[in-house]
Every structure is written in C-alpha cells, then in structure tokens.
C-alpha cells in the first residue's frame, strides 16, 4: 500500500488514488491522418516494464486531480511526482 504525495494535497494513502496506466501518451491531434496500425498503437499498446515506469495517477477520492508518478515496478519505490504538463524530473 503506497503512500503517495499528491502534488495538490500532500501525502495520502494509496486507497484514495486510482492508477491511470502509462503516462505521456498524447492523444493524436489529427487522428484521421493515422493508419489503422498507428491508431491501434495509441489505443491499445502500453508498456509493461520491469523497472522505472512513468504513470498517470488520479487522486480520485480526494482532489480528483490527475498527476504523473515515476515508479520502479520491481520494488514499488516512487521516484518522483509531478503535475500534468510538467516535465518529468531526472531519476
């Protein structure tokens, strides 16, 4: 059970949050220009790596804000948290 430092509310229990999968997958600005494969890549393909992973999290039972979180999936260490639109810190 993680302790997550919400950038808006501070440290809270994991049960207040929900995970939104891989971060930094931008919705294409011109979807109609994309081939089926390119669109499918955006729509379905997500990384599942062992190690440092960039994720989206939502403080769903708190301020309802989305933010980004850097997590090492091998030991669940959180290496950084930053707001949407911000550049990820160096890990």
Partner 1 sequence: MSKFRINKTNFVDQTNRISFKFDGKTFFGFKGDTLASALIANGIHLVGRSFKYHRPRGIMTCGSEEPNAICQINDKSNLTEPNVRATEIELYEGLEANSQNCWPSVQFDIGGINNLISPFIPAGFYYKTFMWPKSFWKTVYEPLIRKTAGLGKSPIKPDPEIYDHKHVHCDVLVIGGGISGIISAKLSAKNNLNTILIDDKKELGGSTIFQDNEIFKINNKISKDWLLNEIHEIKKLKNLQIKTRTSVAAYHDYNYLLASESLNDHLPKNEKDRSVRQRLWKIRAKKVIIATGAIERPLVFNNNDRPGILLANSINKYLNYFGVTCGLKNVIFTNNDSGYETAISLHKKGLDVKIIDLRKRSGSELIKETEKLGIKIHWNSTITNTFGYRKINSIEIMSLSEDGSNVIGEKNKIFCDCLGISGGWTPMVHMHTQSGGKLNFRETDQVFIPKEFSDNRISVGSSNGHFELDEIVKSTNQTVKKFLHIQDTDLDDTNISCSKELEKRNIWLLPNYISIGKNKSFIDFQNDSTAKDIKLAMREGFKSIEHVKRYTTTGMATDQGKLSNMHALGIIAETAAVKMGSLGTTTFRPPFTPLTFGTIVGRSVGKFFDITRKTPMHEWHVKNNAEFENVGQWKRAWYYSRDNENMHQSVQRESKAARDSAGILDASTLGKIDIKGSDATEFLNRVYTNAWSKLSIGKCRYGLMLNEDGMVYDDGVTTRIGENHYLMTTTTGGAANVLSKLEDYLQTEWPELDVWLTSVTDHYATASICGPNSKKILKKLFSDIEFNDQNFPHMSFKNAKIDGIDCRIMRISFTGEHSYEINIEAKYGNSLWEKCMEAGKDFNITPYGTETMHLLRAEKGFIIVGQDTDGTMTPIDLQMDWIVSKKKYDFIGKRSLYRSDTMREDRKQLVGLLTDEPNTVLEEGAQIVYDENKKPIEMIGHVTSSYFSPNLNKSIALAVVKNGRKLKGQKLLVPMRDQTINVTVSDFIFYDKNNERLNA
With respect to partner 1, which residue has the nearer C-beta, 13 or 89? Answer: 13
Dihedral sign of CA atoms 60, 62, 57, 4 in order: negative
* Sign, Cα dihedral of 33, 38, 44, 47: negative
Site residues for partner 1, 44-73, by CB under 8 A, read 56, 58, 60, 64-66
Q: 3 vs 91, which CB is nearer to partner 1? A: 3
Phi-psi sector, 10: left (phi>0), alpha (psi -120 to 50), beta: left
Binding site for partner 1 (CB under 8 A): 1-3, 13, 20, 26-28, 30-32, 34, 36, 39-40, 43, 56, 58, 60, 64-66, 75-76, 84-85
């Amino acid at each position: 059970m993680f302790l997550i430092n919400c950038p808006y509310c501070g440290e809270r229990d994991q049960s207040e949050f929900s995970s939104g999968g891989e971060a930094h997958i931008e919705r294409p600005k011109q979807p109609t220009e994309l081939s089926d494969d390119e669109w499918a890549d955006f729509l379905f393909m997500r990384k599942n790596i062992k190690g440092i992973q960039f994720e989206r999290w939502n403080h769903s039972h708190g301020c309802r804000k989305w933010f980004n979180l850097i997590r090492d999936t091998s030991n669940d260490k959180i290496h950084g948290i930053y707001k949407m639109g911000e550049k990820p810190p160096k890990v």
